[in-house]
Structure 1
Amino acid sequence: MRPWRLLNTSSLVPLAATGSLALATAAQAQGAPAQGAPAQAAAQPTASDIVVTGTRISGFTAPTPVTAISQAQLQEKAVHTVSELLQDIPQLRINQNVGKSSEPVGASTADLRGLGPQRTLVLLDGRRLPLTDPAGTIDTNVIPTALISNVEIVTGGASAAYGSDAVAGVVNFTLERNLEGFRGDLSYAQTKYDDFHRPAVSLAYGHGFMDDRLHVEAAFDYLRNSGQTSQASRPWGSHRTALLTNPNYTATNGQPRLIIADNSTFSQMTPGGVLGRTSGLALARLLGFPTGTGVQFGPNGQPVPFNYGTNVGGTYMTGGDGGSFEDGGNLLPILKRYTGYGRIDFDLTQDIKLFGDYLESRTETRSDLTANYDNGTLTINADNAYLPAALRSAMAAANMSSFALGRQQLEDGTAFFSTRTTMRRGAIGIEGKFGGWSWDVSGQIGSTHYRQDSTNNRIQTRFFNAVDAVINPATGQPVCRVTLQNPGSSNPDISGCVPVNLFGAGAINQAAQAYYLGNSWQSSVQREKVFYLNLKGSPFTTWAGDVSLAAGAEYRTEQTVLTSDPDSAAARWRSINAQPFSGKYNVKEVYGEVVVPLARDMAFAKNLELNGAVRYTDYSTSGGVATWKVGLNYAPVSDIRFRGTISRDIRAPNNYELFSRGNQVISQLVDRPSNVSGQVLQVTSGNPDLKPEKADTRAIGAVFQPGWLPGFRMSVDYYSIKIKDAISTVSGQNIVDFCFNGQTVYCASVVRDASGRLTRVNVVPFNAQSQKTSGIDFEAMYRFPLRTFGEGTMTFRVLANYVAELKTIANGATNDYVGLAGVSPPPLGVPQWRFNAEARYQIGRAKLGVTYSFIDGGKYDTRFNVTTLDIDNNNIPSRGYVDLDASYKLTGNFDIYGRIDNLFNVAPPIAPNAIVQPQIANSPFYDTRGMFWTLGVRARF
């Protein structure tokens, strides 16, 4: 008998351990006692269990709300990525970048309460995971799904118990540690559109040796999806919907400032090139083109009329001859993931055990990028070598020395954005017990190598040199002006310049492309070292029972080193230009937690317990800070329990927020004073002056479990989180808008040229005055026998979240993001209502399930002023999705299963973001994939 092997937490009765409804369902499905059965009939966790239950002390019901997903539910959902597993939890937002920004492509981060992934602490078996990208987040895809026993989500501040960064809560993935034999899962999935093909394999093996003193486990996961990079493949995404600026808008004429419209095309870009509107209208008349048309260039490079549509703005118009990138907007990236995990446990004695584990995960992603383009920003001089003669004559007649040109450079070919992330974490430790106490000492080393590549990027200096082509008087051939003016130069930008012809689709030759195109890259290493010391036990007993104590210490170092190619370091590329930086800090923490029973089986209280925790954290970058938590459980009778907590939680800025030297992209921003959109350089960098943020969290609720209704349990909890000195990053568009609306703290980040034109926005994290959120969580489950078709059982479960507020307050101005369903600046908006209801029926070897998920609608932008008609339609409708799943046990060793997500192929609400290649359905909450089916088989030996 191995006393130290941890219990499979999916077989626990959670009402005594974690309060989780999900685990209750799993426990009863596996033959554990039904709710209301004697507690001694169920297996209970030992003091050494590594389980997050809202507390570090095992064996009591924590006052902190906990939502959990069991291994059985993971199988019912037929998922092979953690992001799919967690997407039905209303308190969580899963963010996945589809590849149209400089963020890690394909990464899925857990974000509790919409407060940002950096404020959600992600643990594996109760220990930290290394950061998986230089921005300081964790891609949940690195978790080995083959061995996940359960997932527990502490939906409230937990810094005192679990450490810094747990401002919004904790997500802990518990792996099985008692597996005997082999387990395998093979599945295939795809959409109804015959794309996003996803084969997946999960294998796990465990065995005990030496009379079970030595136990070994190993697991391997493989997943691949073919990706889907064309939103036009969906009926809802094929209408070229875009966000347009209304050229007729004034503050007093009653017309909307912005318009969402179909059949949108570029007003200043085509594959062959088009003149800026002012120059185009003037020169079109001299060329004899119809009144009201502009000038574009046909396949042979000759000027032809350009027909304008309606609602002509700086980027888009409705109809007309303009080009578009919209059809290629991404839905999901291509992704491959390999994960390997191994663990060894060895009992030195009856009371002392050695353990070690190793996790390695490699994720590869690929997504296409928007092709190189210039939105009416290229200057073409009258002496350009390739300028058609008719246009040159018209320019001379108009006394025009130059004009602006816009163009989609399709000749440059498809650009790809790819990432490769390799995360490794190894840990060793020893744990033991003496008397009624248990202890453990462990250390772990983690590292993540992150590589990001962008192909067919453009070196701006070289491209502009090539565009400025003139005739060499000595040869009569085109030459770059810079080469002609600097003969004999050894600078390859000058001596190697190849002139480029921009007039007409397909006009750019390969020699010119070889001169100005290239591949940019960045590579980073994130290193983490953590050492743990923990002690648990009962120092004494009161009249109401044992007092439980947990105490410990933690030392952690975090280091990030980022390098990039020389051209990026010199900011020569058209986009991204990651700047090298390095940063390092260490954290020292000590903590203590106690549970004090105050009353038990008395006239006024069936149970009354006080729970308290305190932690002192010392950051090398910002000094020391104390966090604490106080919680209370009160059960006047067996059927109902009241719970409440208050806590102080912290998060200090990470290496990227502090030390990043910059990353730049070209964004399409609307300048509020002129209501004209255009290309604007957006530079994101760190801020070494950031200080830690502090959060005050309050939660109060009740758990109802009536003895007269066995199998039923319900909980309702109110929460409030207020963050002081919140570390905030505001998008470039919001910075411009907020400055225009009088929030002067943002105006220092807005840069204009001498003419007042918006040229650059600096995006820098800062300490806002405060950020706050509050709302209500609801959870209910009812499980009962249903013998209509035989000896079956029925289970109903509901999870719901109502968000009353999600606000950022800075410089006296308040912005509320509840119901912000269209745009996606940080912080992202959250629906006001979100719930997930499921019904499951099990009879004999068969299991059937149906799930309905509701996601509330809201506003395209809650900050738009309705009275000034910021947008023609600011309403985003809600959506509901139905999923079906079924499984059947063929034999004792084999199961077959299937699942259909989004059974009725419900389309997402249309909400385009304001970029040149917009995501038409921009909110991360709504499904863009469409109906998705999965078939698989599981084996156990």
Structure 2
Amino acid sequence: MKAKNNSRGNGFLINGGGSLTALGVALFWSATPALAQDLDDDEVVEASADQNTNDQAIVVTGSRIARSGFDTPTPVTFIGEDQIARQGTTNVAEVLNDIPAFRPQATSSTSAIFFSNIGASTADLRGLGANRTLVLIDGRRVVPATVAGGGFAAAGTVDLNMIPTSLVRRVEVVTGGASAAYGSDAVAGVVNLILDTDLEGIRANVQYGFADAGDDDEWSASFAAGTSFADGRGHAIFGIDYVNDEGTGDCYSRDWCSQTWNTVSNPGNVDGLANTLILPDISVALGTFNGIIIGGPLRGTEFNVDGTTFQHDYGQYYGAGIFQSGGAAGQRDEQLAFYQFFPLASPSERVNAFGHVEYEFSDVFTGFIEASYSHVEADTLGAQRRDIASIVITRDNAFLPAGVAAQMDFFGLPAFPMGKMWNDIGPSRGHVERETFRIVTGFEADIDDNWSVNGYYQYGQTNYHQIGENTTINSNRAFALDAVIDPGTGDPVCRAVLLGNPAAAGCQPLNPFGNGSPSAAAIDYVTGTSEQTTRLAQHVASITLQGDLLDLWAGPLAIATGVEFRQDEASGTADPISTALDFYTSPGAPIDGEVDVFEGFVEAVLPLSDDAELNGAVRVTDYSTSGRVTTWKIGADWSPLDWLRLRATRSRDIRAPNVFELFSPAQSSFQSINDPNFGGTQFLIPVLLAGNNTLQPETADTWTAGFVLQPDFGFGDLRFSADYFDITLDGAVATLGGQVIVDRCAAGATDLCSLVSRNATTGELTQVRNFNLNLNTLITRGFDLEASYSVPVSTGSVTLRVLSTIVDDLITVDSSGTSVDRAGQNGSPVSQPSGVPRYIVNTYLTYDVEPFAAQIQVRHVSGGRYNNTLIGPDEDGYDPALPNSISDNRIGAFTYVNLNASYDIWSEGDRNFEIYGVVNNLFDKNPPVAPSSFGPTNNVLYDVVGRTYRVGLRLRY
């Protein structure tokens, strides 16, 4: 058989005596070529002096064409298994997120407060969202594993935690649009995980990690084995990974976090200060653990359990908004409630297993079957219920202290407003189980010496189960708080029970006065368990034909053509209270939706000369939900000199909304929002998240252009590449965020005002509907750079590698025509989209001389702004009287240093037994002040765990 596909899919094809060596060289020359040197030794050799005369035919990620040579116009970055091993990572996402083009939106540090999708890690290229980065395994699609929720993990995306790292040979990243090659979701690019289906022998690894702060213990073990059978015509591999990450403590387990920095509203510009202040020692002024009267002549009265009262210490409070600085914040039990309980990094436990068997039935036909299984469990604590300025206590309340009742009579008050943080009820407790299995079968066949065909069928399913224990029920809490004295018994009773309201059956009166005052019976009545199950299923069938159509002046015109079918389904169940949105926070009603996709594509490579070629592709896609769309790509590659290669691509890419974006029912959450109708005063407002079945596909115009330099100056190996990217996405499916919706409505965007509800009498915000919308435009532009220099030393080498992504623009234009550029925004403000730094530079210095290897990794994040929609004192146009003024809008540059090393205890050829260690955040740098939904810093960008250690043993035999 002349053709053997090393990846068993649409990733790589090696023809006629092909070798992994040729593949490694080809990938390097086709790449941007990040981390290229980290491929196995047998995959990296010196390139042929004449690249284009090499007769090896390969298919590079981002293309379906098998061709000779090492050139492709689309930039491809890749990571080898050696780099994954060096860093001791138990998750492929950890290494991907070190590539500056990625934004680590969904990690254990950004999901801890949110129940949905805890334990999941996704890939987000270009800051365009994980739902615009297509993840493949050996060139084939993977069933999604994430659901809709309030966190940063996009729904309907692949969880990289399900990939067994013990079998990952390398990861390929196409950093440009690839919809014409792979279909929907590849707007930002493609992550292709190439597994080692040719593994011979065994690999085993055990590892332990922990944080310098005394938490975040992590145990992991992996085993993989592969062997040939039937005189080499068959091959089988199997791998299994186990990881148990115990997570961290809450915010107060770290000194930097316990300073509780946050934003404080100052709409009156008190003391000539800005409208928004960033201050330490923050606590909630409108709700305390004891309960506090927040308005009227009794304002500031707090309650003790014994019925006595005391006056609240407001510290620095500017008369509006939720927060104060100082005062009661100096007491541990009065710390900012938003930062309590939930961990800085959530714990999780997972098992991943994968098996692959292939058999060469004849010289021209090979078949394969593979299966994988992943089980992830994760737990976290949420925040306690926070009734901030949302309780009304009437004069006849059964638990009202006598002294306060007398004061109400003196002032003639029939009721007063009260706020309370329900620590005596406690935090909600979230548990998620995610089970994903996948089976694939397919074939490869040669039709003749020129043409070949391959195809596969895949079925994948994710079973997702989420529960939220100790979650308060809104209607029950309302009934229980409205307690009066039963005239017949003299005991407290719910007013609704006394009035015979059947909806209040079983109501137990709730005493809000003093921390610890509610009875166990009342707590049981006002709390419940939210529960949601979701089943995600995916069918994929694909067949591809490829070969040389014509012999032309500079070589054959190669084409690939094929058809694909895909069906994505989502269905589930939820408890009645969640369905009615009656929990304080809940996953909402179950989803029920389906999207069917039929596709056909053609791709061609036209050689223009020995040094130049054109590549083009067209794909027609028909969606059951939104109709037919066409995508296309054209690229050019030219090597005018031996040491210089130029490349460029232009593509039209699409992404149709997935089942969650279309069909997700409403879910409830609470967000801090500054209301411009009340001078920017801060309120805690219920925000609903939901799908939108009127959404249309996104369309993107993508440009990439760049060059690769590899001069030969005799000593060492120098490589440099630079690529410009420009992606303009029209009709982008996204949520604006509660704050943006309110701000745009106040500025005159009447279409967005339909998403905002206010009290008809007072005009105060009562609800914001943060639904999916087709926004006008999403634009990102910038540069990817890499420089690499390797020098041979004794039996090894010393290599310096520098990677950088420079982002000029990350612009969102909403339906009102208002644009915000979040390039250079290092903060992730509450209720607003996260930005990206202006640039990130990753530097790797590697010393590898057997039996010892060591690497220093330096990650530099440029300085930037906390919030690009605000103006600080060091910026032009700053005026503290402006509603968009902030006391400090600057975040300084940050540099992290990581160190890893390994030593071969025993080595014999390709077999070895080694000990290794890793230290991350070597100098234990605390993150900068940048308040977000997770705490006082931006957990997306900065390390919140602190210095961590990993040590392990690894066997290859």
* 1:726 aligned residue: 732
Over the aligned positions, Cα root-mean-square deviation in angstroms equals: 2.1
Q: Against the structure 1 CA distance between its residues 26 and 757, is the aligned structure 2 distance closer, same or farther, given a 3 Å change threshold?
A: closer
User: What is the CA–CA distance in structure 1 between the aligned matches of 2:807 and 2:120, rounded to whole Å?
Assistant: 26
Matched, 1:887 2:902: yes
Task: Find the residue that maps to 2:588 and give its secondary structure.
Answer: coil
Kept after mapping to 2: 8 A contact 1:8/1:149: no
* 2:836 aligned residue: 830
Q: Against the structure 1 CA distance between its residues 383 and 844, is the aligned structure 2 distance closer, same or farther, given a 3 Å change threshold?
A: same
Amino acid at match of 2:684: Q
Kept after mapping to 2: 8 A contact 1:99/1:367: yes
Shift of 1:734: 1.7
Kept after mapping to 1: 8 A contact 2:661/2:691: yes
Alignment of 1:192-203 (within 5 A): 192-203=212-223
* 1:441 aligned residue: 455
* 2:859 aligned residue: 853
Shift of 1:133: 2.1
1:681 to 683, 686, 689: 686
Shift of 1:39: 6.2
1:19-46, CA deviations, whole angstroms, 9 ceiling, x for partnerless residues? Answer: 353564135844842356676999x865
User: What is the CA–CA distance in structure 1 between the aligned matches of 2:432 and 2:2, rounded to whole Å?
Assistant: 44
Task: Find the residue that maps to 2:744 and give its secondary structure.
Answer: helix
Amino acid at match of 1:756: G
Kept after mapping to 2: 8 A contact 1:247/1:311: no
1:370 to 375, 383, 406: 383
Q: Against the structure 1 CA distance between its residues 336 and 5, is the aligned structure 2 distance closer, same or farther, given a 3 Å change threshold?
A: same
* 2:206 aligned residue: 186
Task: Find the residue that maps to 2:298 and give its secondary structure.
Answer: helix
User: What is the CA–CA distance in structure 2 between the aligned matches of 1:816 and 1:117, rounded to whole Å?
Assistant: 19
User: What is the CA–CA distance in structure 2 between the aligned matches of 1:160 and 1:404, rounded to whole Å?
Assistant: 59
Give the unaligned 5+ runs of structure 1.
Answer: 282-293, 601-606
1:352 to 346, 365, 383: 365
Shift of 1:580: 2.2
Shift of 1:843: 1.4
User: What is the CA–CA distance in structure 2 between the aligned matches of 1:31 and 1:150, rounded to whole Å?
Assistant: 11
Structure 1, 609-618 or 920-929: larger mean CA deviation: 920-929
User: What is the CA–CA distance in structure 2 between the aligned matches of 1:697 and 1:652, rounded to whole Å?
Assistant: 17
Task: Find the residue that maps to 1:340 and give its secondary structure.
Answer: strand
Task: Find the residue that maps to 1:222 and give its secondary structure.
Answer: strand
User: What is the CA–CA distance in structure 1 between the aligned matches of 2:313 and 2:668, rounded to whole Å?
Assistant: 34
Amino acid at match of 2:896: Y
Shift of 1:76: 1.4
Alignment of 1:10-49 (within 5 A): 12-14=24-26, 18-19=30-31, 21-22=33-34, 24-27=36-39, 29-30=41-42, 32-35=44-47
User: What is the CA–CA distance in structure 2 between the aligned matches of 1:773 and 1:836, rounded to whole Å?
Assistant: 21
Shift of 1:328: 3.6
* 1:131 aligned residue: 144
Q: Against the structure 1 CA distance between its residues 24 and 831, is the aligned structure 2 distance closer, same or farther, given a 3 Å change threshold?
A: closer
Amino acid at match of 2:137: L
Structure 1, 754-763 or 17-26: larger mean CA deviation: 17-26
Kept after mapping to 2: 8 A contact 1:229/1:368: no
Shift of 1:176: 0.5
Matched, 1:421 2:434: yes
1:220 to 211, 229, 240: 240
User: What is the CA–CA distance in structure 2 between the aligned matches of 1:768 and 1:271, rounded to whole Å?
Assistant: 41
Kept after mapping to 2: 8 A contact 1:797/1:837: yes
1:408 to 421, 433, 436: 421
Matched, 1:461 2:475: yes
Matched, 1:805 2:812: no
User: What is the CA–CA distance in structure 1 between the aligned matches of 2:823 and 2:173, rounded to whole Å?
Assistant: 22
Matched, 1:100 2:100: no
Alignment of 1:737-752 (within 5 A): 737-752=743-758
1:451 to 436, 442, 465: 465
1:654 to 639, 652, 658: 658
Alignment of 1:257-406 (within 5 A): 257-281=275-299, 294-312=300-318, 313-321=320-328, 323=334, 324-325=336-337, 326-406=339-419
Alignment of 1:493-642 (within 5 A): 493-600=503-610, 607-642=611-646
Alignment of 1:75-154 (within 5 A): 75-96=85-106, 97-101=110-114, 103-134=116-147, 135-154=155-174
1:62-84, CA deviations, whole angstroms, 9 ceiling, x for partnerless residues? Answer: 10011110111111121111121
User: What is the CA–CA distance in structure 1 between the aligned matches of 2:843 and 2:198, rounded to whole Å?
Assistant: 32
Amino acid at match of 2:893: S
Shift of 1:728: 2.2
Kept after mapping to 1: 8 A contact 2:265/2:275: yes
Task: Find the residue that maps to 2:85 and give its secondary structure.
Answer: helix
User: What is the CA–CA distance in structure 2 between the aligned matches of 1:66 and 1:578, rounded to whole Å?
Assistant: 40
* 2:772 aligned residue: 765
* 1:475 aligned residue: 489
Shift of 1:368: 0.6
2:788 to 749, 771, 781: 781
Q: Against the structure 1 CA distance between its residues 111 and 903, is the aligned structure 2 distance closer, same or farther, given a 3 Å change threshold?
A: same
Kept after mapping to 1: 8 A contact 2:115/2:468: no
Q: Against the structure 1 CA distance between its residues 2 and 534, is the aligned structure 2 distance closer, same or farther, given a 3 Å change threshold?
A: closer
Amino acid at match of 2:778: Q
1:505-550, CA deviations, whole angstroms, 9 ceiling, x for partnerless residues? Answer: 1111111111111110111111110001011221222221222211
User: What is the CA–CA distance in structure 2 between the aligned matches of 1:692 and 1:571, rounded to whole Å?
Assistant: 29
Shift of 1:643: 0.4
Amino acid at match of 1:656: F
User: What is the CA–CA distance in structure 2 between the aligned matches of 1:117 and 1:834, rounded to whole Å?
Assistant: 19
Kept after mapping to 2: 8 A contact 1:53/1:62: no
User: What is the CA–CA distance in structure 1 between the aligned matches of 2:3 and 2:141, rounded to whole Å?
Assistant: 26
Amino acid at match of 1:883: N
Kept after mapping to 2: 8 A contact 1:720/1:775: yes
User: What is the CA–CA distance in structure 1 between the aligned matches of 2:21 and 2:196, rounded to whole Å?
Assistant: 8
Shift of 1:828: 2.1
User: What is the CA–CA distance in structure 2 between the aligned matches of 1:55 and 1:705, rounded to whole Å?
Assistant: 27
Give TM-score scaled by structure 1 length. 0.93
1:811-853, CA deviations, whole angstroms, 9 ceiling, x for partnerless residues? Answer: 2211111112222556420111111111111112111111111
1:193-232, CA deviations, whole angstroms, 9 ceiling, x for partnerless residues? Answer: 1210111111101111110112111000111111114122
Kept after mapping to 2: 8 A contact 1:11/1:26: no
Shift of 1:165: 1.2
Q: Against the structure 1 CA distance between its residues 684 and 13, is the aligned structure 2 distance closer, same or farther, given a 3 Å change threshold?
A: same
Kept after mapping to 2: 8 A contact 1:272/1:297: yes
1:749-780, CA deviations, whole angstroms, 9 ceiling, x for partnerless residues? Answer: 11111121011101111112211111011012
* 1:903 aligned residue: 922
Amino acid at match of 2:698: E
1:229-255, CA deviations, whole angstroms, 9 ceiling, x for partnerless residues? Answer: 4122222111121111115328xx853
* 2:14 aligned residue: none
1:428-448, CA deviations, whole angstroms, 9 ceiling, x for partnerless residues? Answer: 111111312221121000111
Work out the percentage of aligned pairs sharing the same amino acid. 35
Kept after mapping to 1: 8 A contact 2:178/2:189: yes
Kept after mapping to 2: 8 A contact 1:268/1:277: no
Shift of 1:708: 2.7
Alignment of 1:915-934 (within 5 A): 918-934=934-950
Q: Against the structure 1 CA distance between its residues 28 and 401, is the aligned structure 2 distance closer, same or farther, given a 3 Å change threshold?
A: closer
Task: Find the residue that maps to 1:12 and give its secondary structure.
Answer: helix
User: What is the CA–CA distance in structure 2 between the aligned matches of 1:45 and 1:827, rounded to whole Å?
Assistant: 46
Amino acid at match of 1:425: R
Q: Against the structure 1 CA distance between its residues 435 and 545, is the aligned structure 2 distance closer, same or farther, given a 3 Å change threshold?
A: same
Q: Against the structure 1 CA distance between its residues 84 and 737, is the aligned structure 2 distance closer, same or farther, given a 3 Å change threshold?
A: same
User: What is the CA–CA distance in structure 2 between the aligned matches of 1:23 and 1:258, rounded to whole Å?
Assistant: 43
Task: Find the residue that maps to 1:746 and give its secondary structure.
Answer: helix
Kept after mapping to 1: 8 A contact 2:40/2:82: no
Structure 1, 370-379 or 147-156: larger mean CA deviation: 370-379
Task: Find the residue that maps to 2:371 and give its secondary structure.
Answer: strand
Q: Against the structure 1 CA distance between its residues 32 and 87, is the aligned structure 2 distance closer, same or farther, given a 3 Å change threshold?
A: closer
Give the unaligned 5+ runs of structure 2.
Answer: 7-18, 148-154, 872-877
User: What is the CA–CA distance in structure 2 between the aligned matches of 1:5 and 1:801, rounded to whole Å?
Assistant: 33
